[in-house]
Amino acid sequence: MAAGATMKCLSMNLSRAPARERSQFAFASAQRARLYAEFRLLGGCVLLVTCHRTELYFTCARERAESCLLELAHAERAAFEYFPAAEEHLFLLAAGLESMLLGEDEILGQIRDAYEEARAAGVSAGLDEVFQSAVHCGRRVRAETKISAVACSIATLAANEAARFLPGGGNVMVVGGTGRFGASVLKNLAAHAGFTVYAAERTHGVPASVAGDVISFPYAARYALLAQMHVVISTTSSPHTVFEAPRVAEGIRSSQRERLFLDLAMPPDIDGAVGELAGCKLVGVDAFSRQAKENNQKKQQAALAARAVVAECLSELYAAQASRRYLSAFGAPVAGELALLRSRDPQAFVARVNGLIGDKS
């Protein structure tokens, strides 16, 4: 659009920053609440935090938004990517086209949850229509294209990695399975025969959809059970270390076997020194890039179709915005002509409105 308020975005993602730097900006719920409290005086914002990215969508000045993020992270600088008009970026992200894994489904739920959190905090003003349209676009893409035909997500890759490590089956511990992403990990593990899955319980218990397929245990017992485990998967939203190397070493001392630790959290859940313990292999979330590349190569045609749907959804959003803002400024004959054009070709409608605005300026 040539005029009107534009949503902006500051993004720190897998392609721009390593896990160590991203972990500074993996804000927990209390930190997000503090940011939203500050933005009540600045304008609308939505904060999206996933294992691969932290993105702030906002309507105020870039400098003020960036300052808020740096202050919250206690950082002096960061490798942010800046989108001065972020609607297209958000739509592409919701469609699964900006993820490490093309067509991943989890990002759509994460965007919806981030928006609902901001809306509940009373800071989504000016961004509601864009986020609602982006979620609708993401659903359309998955319904109308084959971008998600070959189901693939970090949860899928993690379960596959566990299966390669344990071709004959074995014991798998999941810590963080009570969240949306953790539940996806549990469901993907259930697709592999031979696993005995142990899931840590915390506040909400094990999800009902997988509760019958796992053995639940108290979160505090995670170290005591390590000796029995072959694979440990951790995917909590905790800002603290969930598995400390000295306590892991003590927990596995009585059982000398090869173990795989998969850390799918941001900030990381597992002490990096665990990977240096005898018999322990530690794999972080960023290490799945090779499998992601293979997945993405298979989905190139579907990605083209998905981009076409995104372009159509964006045109419809821009047309709705232009109609509300400018249609009443034109005389009845022109307004009638524009309304007909919008129904036939939203993109041409937006171009026509922008041309008329330019003639008036």
Contact, 173 vs 222, CB < 8 A?
A: yes
Mean confidence (pLDDT) of the chain: 89
Q: What is the pTM of this model?
A: 0.80
Percentage with pLDDT > 70 across the chain = 93
C-alpha to C-alpha distance for 38 and 47, rounded to whole angstroms: 13
The CA-atom distances, in angstroms, between 3 and each of 91, 132, 235 are 20, 21, 43
pLDDT tens digits for range 150-196: 657 888 899 999 999 999 899 999 998 777 788 889 988 988 889 99
pLDDT tens digits for range 38-63: 999 999 999 999 988 999 999 999 99
Helix (H) or strand (E) holding 34: helix 29-39
Q: What is the pLDDT of residue 294?
A: 81
Residues in the chain: 361
Say if residue 37's pLDDT is above 60.
yes
- Return the domain boundaries, the chain: 1-150, 154-291, 323-361
Whether CATH 3.30.950.10 fits 1-150 = no
DSSP 208: H
What is the separation of C-alpha 295 from the centre of its chain, rounded to a whole number of angstroms? 18
Query: For residue 10, what are the β-bridge partners?
Result: 56, 82
Select the highest-mean-pLDDT range: 103-112, 211-220, 341-350. 103-112
**Phi first, then psi: what are they for 233, rounded to 5°?**
-120, 125
C-alpha to C-alpha distance for 81 and 71, rounded to whole angstroms: 18
Q: Which fold has domain 154-291?
A: Rossmann fold (3.40.50)
- Whether a cis peptide bond, with omega within 30° of 0, leads into 18 is no
pLDDT tens digits for range 263-287: 999 899 999 999 999 999 999 988 8
With vertex at residue 266, the alpha carbon angle to CA 261 and CA 271, rounded to the nearest 5 degrees, is 45
158-182 as b/e: b if 16+ CB within 10 A: bbbbbbebbeeebbbbbbbbbeebb
Residue type, position 302, single letter: A
Q: What is the pLDDT of residue 126?
A: 93
pLDDT tens digits for range 329-361: 777 777 777 778 887 888 888 788 777 776 554
Q: Which residue has the tokens 């969930």?
A: 242
- At residue 261, the 3 state secondary structure works out as strand
